[in-house]
Structure 1
Amino acid sequence: MFPFICIFASKMKKLVIISLMLCWMLSLSAQFLNSGDTIAIISPSSATDTATINGGIQTLEKWGYPCIVAPHALADYHGFAGTIDERLSDLLWALRTPSIKAIMCSRGGDGAAHLLSRISLDTLQQYPKMIIGFSDVTALLCAQARAGVMGIHGSMCHALKTYEGNDTVSQALRGMLAGHLPTYRIAPHPLNITGKAEGIIVGGNMSVFNNLAGSDFDPLFIDGIVLFIEDTGEGMSKVDRMLHNIEIRGLQKHIRAVIVGQFNKYKHPENGFDDMYALLNEYLQHWHIPVCYNFPVGHAHLKNFPLLTGAKATLEVNPDEVVLDYNNSH
């Protein structure tokens, strides 16, 4: 066990303290990595560049994981990293190659959902390898969760290149890859709704998983979830429609708790609300479940701590702190 503390400035201009207690989880160890395991680098979304991929590889190999780059990871087809068939072939290659133990996405952007029309839940179940990424990669993580497979919502090659793997967020990802799962403790927020719930961690970029609505890959079809949400550059009116979509389909009944991450680069005030959290609260306060605001997950690397998707965790929202713990749920 090796605890550490990190501090960051929140939107409220206060310091939020997060303590992470990292513990070895034997019950989930099958998908985690050992030193020397190979990680494949794929680009399922927008096109990227050699420097970004090489920077991520440098950090991963420093951590003890040799990397192999997918054949089309550097392709560029109308802004995507290759055609749909090329990006799909890279994903299937990484899943089916026995020597590859995990898959890191080079970046997000747009286009990962294209692959889901040509892949099945059965295929994802057959090859239960962790996919690592966030933003547009939310589509793949939600598909894995629907297949009962764990993934990591966390930093990709760009952030690993920028920070060289030395920051607290990167070190948390390093621990999670090896099966050292965190207990996150964060400061309270005025809009928090107290309570305790256990469920399967799913979610990510709100606009991405909203576009999966009604499909086999819709994460809101999973009963008993702890839903985490974040977004960037989406207007408040669009987020309002996403929340209404959840309610009109009656799927809030599947949600045991909500973790509200970082929402940035949006225009406000809008729709009569001062900010995005006020809009979210207009809905979430009526769901009668625990809600945590200002969790460090989203489109800002130093506020994007890794979450193990598809795994059970316990969220406890208290007046004085919020605790998210994987270690007591298995």
Structure 2
Amino acid sequence: MDSFGNAPTLRAPLLRPGDRVRIVAPACPPGREHVARGVEELRSWGLLAEVGEHVFDQWGYMAGRDEDRVADLNSAFRDPGVRAVFAAMGGKGTYRIVDDLDTDALRRDPKPVIGFSDITHLHLALWARCRLACLHGPFPNASDAWCGPGSADAVRRALMTTDLVTLHRDAGQASAAVTVEGTATGVLLGGNLSAIRTETGAGLPSLKGAILFLEHQRGTGLGEVDRALTQLTRAGALDGLHGVALGQFIGFEQDTGDPALGGWGIADILRDRLTRLGVPVLGGLPAGHGAHPPTIPLGTRATIDTAEGTLTVEPAVV
């Protein structure tokens, strides 16, 4: 038995044509064309797409003041006609508003939240406070170069069917060289490594019994990944994990052994920090900040199988 207590995972009803969905901006402001393309895609699925009041606001580098961004989220959570909530983009700022989310509204009426990157803060908070299953996925069809038809259809299927989601190891990913053999099953949690690290000691839920999914985009280099994983380890946040699923580490693809860094690359950092956990680790999943991302349920049962090179996840909707 895992350590998630007696509270069951909250799963929203799957979406059907005619359902209303709302786009909000918990982090940075999106471009209008970006949102318009997404609205067009959602409407092509038969959904009624609407845009939150403050989506195009700007306050510093964020999409409006904290109170306005969280008001858009809570308005969507409280509206019984809104059946799913899409984050228009990530960036920065979601961590500032997670303490003011109306999770009571979601307990009464669960609805999935879709996003990634900085939206990991929302996913973690909603799991910690009301066990809501969400989706690590893109805003659909923001551009064909980044989120083409296949990615948009993966979002649609994750919301409008109850199919299992299976990802396969891609040998071309920077994390593919990191493997600790075995199989493991647990609730899939996680997302962006920087966001998970930021929540340590604040809003990070227990990961005991979980499969931890990690992805990252390059910031200050190998040391940033090392510091994040070391902080999580020292805080005890990784104690009791059942397994680790590694997605994309964008910007580190050429880090295969820099002489200036003692010959280490990203795989060496990941291997050094994660193999000591003594649990199966599956690297090379093509999910994260790269082009044409998949959509992955979070908060539902998942299995990693290193021999098959697969991550299989139960749906976030019923």
Q: What is the aligned counterpart of 2:226 among 230, 237, 240?
A: 240
Query: What CA deviation, in whole Å up to 9, does each residue of 1:215-255 have, x standing for no partner?
Result: 2x303x13211111111122211211111112212222231
Partner of 2:5: none
Name the counterpart of 1:308: 297
1:164/1:100 Cα in 2 relative to 1: closer, same or farther (>3 Å)? farther
Q: What does the per-residue CA deviation read over 1:258-290, in whole Å, with 9 as the maximum and x for residues that have no partner? A: 111111225953643532122110111111111
- Could you list the runs of 5+ residues in structure 2 that have no partner in the other structure? 1-8
Identify which of 209, 225, 228 aligns with 1:224.
Answer: 209
Aligned residue in 2 for 1:135: 117
Q: Which blocks of at least 5 consecutive residues in structure 1 are unaligned?
A: 1-26
Cα offsets for 1:190-235 (capped at 9, x unmatched): 43111111111111110011101112x303x132111111111222
Q: Which residue of 1 aligns with 2:78?
A: 96
The answer to whether the 8 A contact 1:237-1:271 is kept is no
Partner of 2:39: 57
Q: How many residues align?
A: 297
Aligned-partner Cα distance in 1 for 2:291–2:296: 13
CA contact (8 A) 2:24 2:73 kept: yes
Q: Distance in 2 between matches of 1:301 and 1:165?
A: 6
Aligned positions of 1:68-87 closer than 5 A: 68-87=50-69
- Kindly state the Cα deviation for residue 327 of structure 1 after the two structures are TM-superposed: 4.7
C-alpha contact 1:202 1:228 (8 A) present in aligned 2 = yes
The one of 130, 138, 156 aligned to 1:155: 138
Which of the pair is proportionally richer in strand? 1
Report the Cα distance in structure 1 between the residues aligned to 2:109 and 2:98, rounded to whole angstroms.
15
Q: Is the 8 A contact 1:261 1:296 kept in 2?
A: yes
State the partner residue of 2:245: 259
C-alpha distance in structure 2 between counterparts of 1:163 and 1:94, whole Å: 30
Distance of 1:114 and 1:31 partners within structure 2: 29
Instruction: State how 1:168-207 maps to structure 2 within 5 Å.
Output: 168-178=150-160, 179-186=162-169, 189-207=176-194
The Cα offsets for residues 128-169 of structure 1, whole Å up to 9 and x where unpaired, read as 211100011110011122221011001115x44436975322
Distance of aligned partners of 1:78 and 1:258 in 2 relative to their CA distance in 1, 3 Å threshold = same
Aligned to 1:277: 267
Name the residue aligned to 1:22: none
Overall identity of the aligned pairs, in %: 27
Deviation per CA, 1:5-34: give whole Å up to 9, x if none: xxxxxxxxxxxxxxxxxxxxxx98743211
Distance 1:273 1:229, change over 3 A: farther
TM-score, normalised by the number of residues in structure 1 = 0.83
- Residues in 2 aligned to 1:252 and 1:222: alpha-carbon distance in whole angstroms: 6
Q: Could you say which residue in structure 2 is the equivalent of 1:249? A: 235
**Structure 2 residue aligned with 1:298, among 278, 288, 291?**
288
RMSD of Structure 2 on Structure 1 (CA):
2.4
TM-score, scaled relative to structure 2: 0.86
